[in-house]
Amino acid sequence: MTSSRRFGILAATILGSSMAFIDSTVVNVILPRLQTEFNASASQIQWLVEAYLLFLSALILLGGALGDRYGRKMIFEIGATIFVLSSLACGVSQSLMQLTIARSIQGIGGALLAPGSLAILNASFPKEERGRAIGTWSGFSAMTAALGPVIGGWLSDHASWRWVFLINLPLGILTVYFTRRFVPERCGETWKTRLDIRGSVISILGLAAITFALIESSRLGFRDPRILSSLGVGILLMILFVRGEAGIKDPLMPLSLFRSRAFVGANICTLLLYGALGAVFYFLPFNLIQVQGFTATETGAANLPFVVIIFLFSQASGGLYDRFGPRIPLTVGSLIVGVSFLLLGFLPGLHAGYWSGFFPGLFTFGVGMSLCVAPLTSTVLGSVPVAHSGLSSGFNNAVARLSSLIAIAVMTTLVLISFESHLKTRLMKIEMPDQQKQSVVDHASQLAGIRGPQIAEDEIKRSYLDSFRQLMEVCFILSLGSALCASCLLSKGRK
C-alpha cells in the first residue's frame, strides 16, 4: 500500500468519525445560549441532545450491518453526506423544533459513520500495519474531540452558534473526497446475512417512547396519562424486541453474547460510567456559563484536562489490563471517578475560579476514566468469539450512548425537582413580593437560565449549585456501582 493511500484512508476515517464524536459533545457548550435565544425550558433543550443520541444509539448496530452487507465505503460515504446536509439544516434552523429535527437526522448519519470508520481500517490495512493505523485513528480522534468544544465555544462567542454546525460542511466534503479517492471497497463478507430491519424499527420506536416519557415527565409529571402510556408502550416494544431477537436466525443483537459473564459485566460498567459521564458533561456547561459566568470558549476549554489525560494515559491502562486483567483497573478507576464527582460537586461555590473549583475534579475524572476506557474495550472484545468481535464492540458503543441518553433524561427530572425545592426555600429568606417569588418559581423549568429580579439572581444560582451537588452524589453512587460490578463479575487475570 502506498503512503498516499494510507494517508487518504486515515484522513477519511478520522474526519468522518470525528464529526460524529464531536457533535455528541460540542453542542453541550452552546446549550445555555440556545436556551436563552429560544427562551426554552430544560426539557425542550434536552431534546437537542437526546434526539441525536436516540438515533445514533438505536441505529449504530444496523449501520455496521449495512456496511458489511452492501459495502463499507458506500455506507460510510452515505453517512457523511447525510451528516453534511443535516448539519447545514441545523445551521439555518429558525426554530428549536427545526433544529431538533435536523439533529435527529444528524444521528442517522452518525450511525452510518461511527461503525464504518474502524471497519474500513480493519479491512484496508494488512494485519502487521493495522495496530498502528488504529492507534493513529484513536489519537487524532481524541485530539479532535478535545478541540471540538473549544472551537465550538469560540465560534459561539465571536460569530454565531450556527457555525458550530456549519463547520461540519468542509469536514464532511473532505471526508467524502478522501473516501472516494483512497478507500477501497470491501463488501460481500456477510451478503447472505439477513438484515434485522424489524428489530431495528421496534427498538427505535421503543427507545423513542421511553425517551419521550422520561423527558416530558419533568414537565407533565409521571401521573400524566400521556407519560404512563408512552412509558408502557416503550417497555412493551423493548420486550417484543428481546423476544424477537431470540427467535430469528440473524438477530440485530444476538442474545448468546450475554452468556459471557465478562461481556455482561463490562457492559454494566459501561452503562453506569458513561451514564454518569453523559450527565456531568450535559449539566456542567450550565454551571460554568449561567452560574459562574464563564464564556462559551472558556467552557469548551475547561474539559481539556479530562480529554488530554485520557489521551496520554489510556495506552498505559491497556498495559495494566495486560498485566492484571480487567478487575483491578476498572475497580480502582471507577472509585477514582467517584471521588472526582464529589470534588466537582462540593469544591465550587458561587463565583468559583476554574483552577480551585473545577480543575481538581476534572483532572481526577480524567485519571479515573483513563484507567477504565482501555480495559472496558479490551474486555468486551476479548469476552466473545473473534467472529462476533465487531458486533460486541458495536453493542458496547450503543450501550455507552444509550446510557447517556437515559441518564440525561432521568437526571434532568431529578435536577428540576431538586432545583425547584431549593429555590422555594431560598426565596423565602429574601425580602421580595410574593407575586415576584411565585413568578420566579413558575419559571423553574429554565433552571439557572431564569430571568428574575436582580435581588433573586444569587439565590437562583445557589439553588442550581444545590441541585448540581445532588446530581454529583447520584453520579458518585453510579461509579460505586461500577466498581462493585467490576469486582464481582470480572476476572482477576486476562483470559
357 has a pLDDT exceeding 90: yes
Distance between CA atoms of residues 465 and 291, nearest Å: 8
| Residue 25 main-chain phi, psi, to 5 deg | -125, -35
Between 314 and 78, residue with greater pLDDT: 78
Q: Which range has the worst mean pLDDT, 73-87, 137-151, 344-358?
A: 137-151
pLDDT digit string (tens) for 424-447? 888 888 878 888 888 888 888 778
Confidence of residue 190 (pLDDT cuts 50, 70, 90): very low
**CB-based contacts of 389: which residues, under 8 Å, 6+ apart?**
381
pLDDT digit string (tens) for 5-28? 888 888 888 888 888 777 777 787
342 has a pLDDT exceeding 70: yes
| Residue 131 main-chain phi, psi, to 5 deg | -60, -45
Distance between CA atoms of residues 432 and 454, nearest Å: 11
Torsion of CA 318, 319, 323, 326, to 10 degrees: -20
Calculate what percentage of the chain has a pLDDT beyond 90: 25
Confidence of residue 188 (pLDDT cuts 50, 70, 90): very low
Average pLDDT score over the chain: 83
Q: Does domain 1-193 have CATH number 3.40.50.12780?
A: no
All three cell numbers of 131, joined, read 495496530
pLDDT of residue 237: 92
pLDDT digit string (tens) for 410-422? 898 899 889 989 9
pLDDT of residue 321: 64
Average pLDDT over residues 237-251: 83
477 has a pLDDT exceeding 50: yes
Calculate what percentage of the chain has a pLDDT beyond 70: 88
Closest CA to 37 of 161, 178, 182: 161
Task: List the domain boundaries for the chain.
Answer: 1-193, 275-495
187 has a pLDDT exceeding 50: no
Between 152 and 354, residue with greater pLDDT: 354
193 has a pLDDT exceeding 70: no
pLDDT of residue 103: 93
pLDDT of residue 146: 66
Q: Which range has the worst mean pLDDT, 70-79, 94-103, 124-133, 344-353?
A: 124-133
Reported for 206-210, long-range contacts at CB under 8 A and 24+ positions apart, including other chains, are 206/233, 206/234, 206/235, 206/236, 206/237, 206/238, 206/240, 206/241, 207/54, 207/57, 207/58, 207/234, 207/238, 207/402, 207/405, 208/54, 208/234, 209/233, 209/234, 209/237, 210/234, 210/235, 210/238, 210/406
pLDDT of residue 145: 65
Between 199 and 82, residue with greater pLDDT: 82
Kindly report the length of the chain: 495
Average pLDDT over residues 263-279: 91
CATH architecture of 275-495: Up-down Bundle (1.20)
Confidence of residue 257 (pLDDT cuts 50, 70, 90): confident
pLDDT digit string (tens) for 306-333? 878 877 776 666 666 667 778 888 999 9
All three cell numbers of 490, joined, read 470480572
Q: Helix, strand or coil for residue 94?
A: coil
Confidence of residue 92 (pLDDT cuts 50, 70, 90): very high
Using CB atoms within 10 Å of the CB of residue 319, give its burial: 0 to 12 exposed, 13 to 18 middle, 19+ buried.
exposed
